Amino acid sequence: MGPIELEVLSPAGLLLHEKGLDEVVLRRREADHDPGSEFAVLPRHAPELIATCAHELRYRRGDRVSVMRVRAGVAEVLDEHVTLFVTGADAATL
């Protein structure tokens, strides 16, 4: 069980690249005008391809939780690697 690597990409390029994460929490797009449900990715997560809505992406390393506000997109989970393709984002840290 290894740490998670997270990449957030937009048409403008790479917005975020973090390694050594314990958890990544996305919001799944389920229907139009529906806020969707949260989707937590932990080490050794099964492969997934999901549509995401605009949300606050959370990622955790130990006790530190960081947040990035992202627009709708698509997330791919492969092994311990999460790639989120979005139309844009605003960085913020909690």
At 94 the pLDDT is 42
Cα 84 to Cα 8: distance, rounded to the nearest angstrom: 5
Residue 92 has pLDDT above 90, yes or no: no
- What are the CA-CA distances from residue 79 to residues 31, 44, 71 (Å)? 27, 6, 24
**Domains of the chain with CATH codes:** 4-93 (2.60.15.10)
Give the residue with greater pLDDT, 35 vs 21.
Answer: 21
Beta strands in 1-94 (DSSP E): 4-10, 13-21, 23-27, 38-41, 48-52, 55-61, 64-70, 73-78, 81-86, 89-93
Average pLDDT, the chain: 90
Give the residue with greater pLDDT, 75 vs 79.
Answer: 75
